[in-house]
Chains A and B, each alone.
Chain A
Amino acid sequence: MMDFKRLCELLSDYFDEELESDICAGIEELVSEDPFCEVLFNTFNRTIKLCEEWEQEKIEVPEEVHIRLHRFLKLEIRKSVPKKK
């Protein structure tokens, strides 16, 4: 039986599409009947979408960091190569 507490536990699985269809139907029924559940459901869904948007904003590696990294690795690689006699 679906109730508010169970809904709180299952929301992530619901939005990650990891639940059986009968459980999803139970959630949807509860959400349509209980205004508290509807608010939780909608705001949780919006939170996930905002998080996804926020996480998709990629920061570029600053040019100087990129150059320093590759220079540093080249030196390390050179150090690792045995010298010819």
Chain B
Amino acid sequence: MPVSDEILVKRSQKGDHISFEALVKRYEKKIYNLAYRIMGNKEDASDVLQETFLQAFKNLASFKGKAKFSTWIYRIAVNICLMRKRKEKKMLTFSLDVPILTKEEDEIRRDLSEDWSKNPLATLENKELRKTLSNAVDLLPEEYRTVFLLKGLNGLSNQDVARVLRISLPAVKSRLHRARLFLRDKLSQYFREYGSRA
């Protein structure tokens, strides 16, 4: 049976570097994937990975274990990603009061002419569709993308996502829902354009 995070953390705090290394091994792939999807390239993802574990190592003594280690380490990684994004001025500014991802009812109804859900091309084996989805995720504002990726990539519950990002549960649910509506819209657009080409 694998040793729990909690025990590895306690041992690491007492100076057992092998336990810390075990934590790194356990989380490096998860952190790398999260960073890669947020940052969009391997170089930044690898820098974020290094910085995340450096910060974790330096601050491990102050980790009280009130939150799960996974919540703590994801929070460090997300903060590093977002700080780097802001530094690069790639951050889109928007207000949560402005429903930039939500469409009016009429607009949604207008694109409901085709049910593409059973279209044989509605699969990730379709490279064009995969690219469309990937590009659409990139278009999501950071706040939405981070929620979407934390939930999906790392299988966190909505409550855990809320803890990582220090936002409310309704905010997580709202961002996730808007992100999904936005992605559905982009996929519908793909099928409309594909239909007009076919």
Contact = CB atoms under 8 A, between A and B. Distances in A.
Contacts of B57: 73, 76-77, 80
A1 interface: no
Given A8-B181, A36-B112, A45 B28 contact: no
Given A8-B108, A60-B29, A61-B32, A51 B181 contact: no
B78 interface: no
A63 B148 CA distance: 28
Contacts of B123: 50
B13 interface: no
B124 A58 contact: no
A54 B116 CA distance: 18
Interface in A9-62: 9, 11-13, 16, 36, 38-40, 42-48, 50-55, 57-62
What is the predominant secondary structure among interface residues of chain B facing chain A?
helix
Contact of A13 (B28, B29, B129, B173): B173
Interface stretch (B1-9, B45-53, B63-71, B83-91): B45-53
Nearest to B29: A61
Contact of A51 (B32, B54, B115, B180): B180
What is the predominant secondary structure among interface residues of chain A facing chain B?
helix
Nearest to A60: B29
B29 A58 contact: yes
Contact of B28 (A42, A66, A76): A66
Given A61-B32, A69-B28, A4 B20 contact: no
Given A40-B112, A47-B180, A69-B24, A62 B42 contact: yes
A45 to B, nearest CB: 7
B149 interface: yes
B105 interface: yes
B158 to A, nearest CB: 8
Interface of A: 4-5, 8-9, 11-13, 16, 36, 38-40, 42-48, 50-55, 57-62, 65-66, 68-70, 72-73, 76-77, 80
